[in-house]
Amino acid sequence: MDSSSAERVLGFVAGQRDAAIEWLRHLVDAESPSAFPETHQLVISVLTQALTGLGLRVRVVNTESSYQHIFATRKKRSRGAPLQLLIGHYDTVWPLGTTAKRPLTVDGNIIRGPGAFDMKGGLTQIILALQTIAELNLPLLLEPVIFFNSDEEIGSRSSTRYVRALARRAERAFVLEPALGEEGAIKTARKGIGRFTITVHGKAAHAGLDPEGGASAILELSHVIQTLFALNDADKGISVNVGTVDGGLQPNVIAPHSQAVVDVRVPTIAAGKAIEATIHSIAPVTKNVRLHISGGIGRPSMEFTPRNKALWKLAFELGQTLGLELTHGCAGGGSDGNTTSQYTATLDGLGPVGHGAHAEHEFLYIDKTLERAALLTLLLTQPSLHGGLA
């Protein structure tokens, strides 16, 4: 990509600033909390209209469930051509009524609004990139496949099967989650995420009349918790957190049950397998109690694999033609990029540059976000570079 072509793309994208803000406003106004999928019809309609307006064939999938997802392809596409996957989610962490209290606002270069940064700004970038390609008649050597899901913020429970199936067929995946930090680093790695539930079965007895007749599930859980926290290893990037605990009946009863829910973050797939095995091997130390351990690593680590490195190198070089000095890094949170990376080259964090995901001060910089839309446009027009890399 020569600098004059890059400037042409950047100039067109910059000229769509007001239109992009209006798309984003419509998306933010169409509230879509993860916990209430029955409210998603408006945002589905907004996105469907935008995609069909670009000449795409749009289907809503998973209609047997309350969580519905959007799948789109070009109407006129080259059969047998390799695919490239564009992924975003339209659900947010914000409850209904949030936009009435904190509507989208534009303050110079800063846009604030619930879900604008995470990640309706990224959806806007996808729409803008596809429009740019169509308006400038840019080549597409890999067919774009667009997937917007409705449950990413709660773990992509119903959509992961679609993400996995599409990633298996695609030569690369672009995930429009927000960039990392205000410097806007691309996410080339993400920690894997595990969720475990430790249930302890003890034996009830009167705490005053027969204390020796019981077996305290709470006492045993205290030992388990110490074992779990000992698994933390900051130098290796491993974190284990007991987030909630519950148990017992009342103060004068030896606790017959207790439970802890544990969050685990690991930097590599190998570390995830090791810690999963360690947690499941925990044995009770208190007499007459039983442990039941469930769960595992649900989102495997997105590692900086050779194919991800090759895609990052391409993005860096294209960024330079746009006058951008891109950086990259590892995110502690998970996304659908964790899934796609198991099957195909993946770049994550290509979305808005700003700060405050899941926070009331959530915002994005419109100029930098438009630059990322131009970068996405250039990425989509590139040939496959690394299909054989593992």
Render pLDDT for 229-272 as a digit per residue (tens, 0 to 9): 999 999 999 999 999 999 999 999 999 999 999 999 999 999 99
Tell which residue, 147, 285, 303, has the closest CA to residue 221: 285
Tokens of 171: 């030569």
Give the pLDDT score at 22. 97
**Residue range(s) in the chain whose domain bears CATH number 3.40.630.10:** 3-190+301-380
Give the pLDDT score at 385. 76
Give the pLDDT score at 203. 98
Phi, psi of 247 (to 5 degrees): 165, 170
Q: Give domain 192-299's CATH number out of 3.40.50.300, 3.30.70.660, 3.30.70.360, 3.20.20.80.
A: 3.30.70.360
Q: Is the peptide bond before 302 cis (omega within 30 degrees of 0)?
A: no
Q: Give domain 3-190+301-380's CATH number out of 3.40.50.620, 3.40.630.10, 2.40.50.140, 3.30.559.10.
A: 3.40.630.10
Contact, 24 vs 40, CB < 8 A? Answer: no
Give the pLDDT score at 76. 81
Give the pLDDT score at 386. 53
How far is Cα 303 from Cα 189, in angstroms, rounded to an integer? 5
C-alpha 197: how far from chain center: 23
pLDDT < 50 positions in the chain: 387-390
Contact, 51 vs 86, CB < 8 A? Answer: no
Mean pLDDT for the chain? Answer: 96
Tokens of 177: 């989650």
Give the pLDDT score at 48. 98
Query: Tokens 């698994």 sit at which residue?
Result: 231
Close Cβ partners of 40 (under 8 Å, ≥ 6 residues apart): 32, 68, 90, 91, 150
Across 182-214, b (16+ Cβ under 10 Å) vs e yields eebbbbbbbbbbbbbebbbbbbbbeeeeeeeeb
Three-state DSSP state, 278: helix
pTM: 0.93
Sheet holding 363-365, edge to edge: 105-107, 110-112, 363-365, 354-355
Helix (H), strand (E) at residue 126: helix 121-135
Tell which residue, 214, 194, 212, has the closest CA to residue 278: 194
Tokens of 212: 């020796």
How far is Cα 232 from Cα 205, in angstroms, rounded to an integer? 35
The single-letter code of the amino acid at 348 is D
**Residue range(s) in the chain whose domain bears CATH number 3.30.70.360:** 192-299
Render pLDDT for 178-225 as a digit per residue (tens, 0 to 9): 999 989 999 999 999 999 999 999 999 999 999 999 999 999 999 999
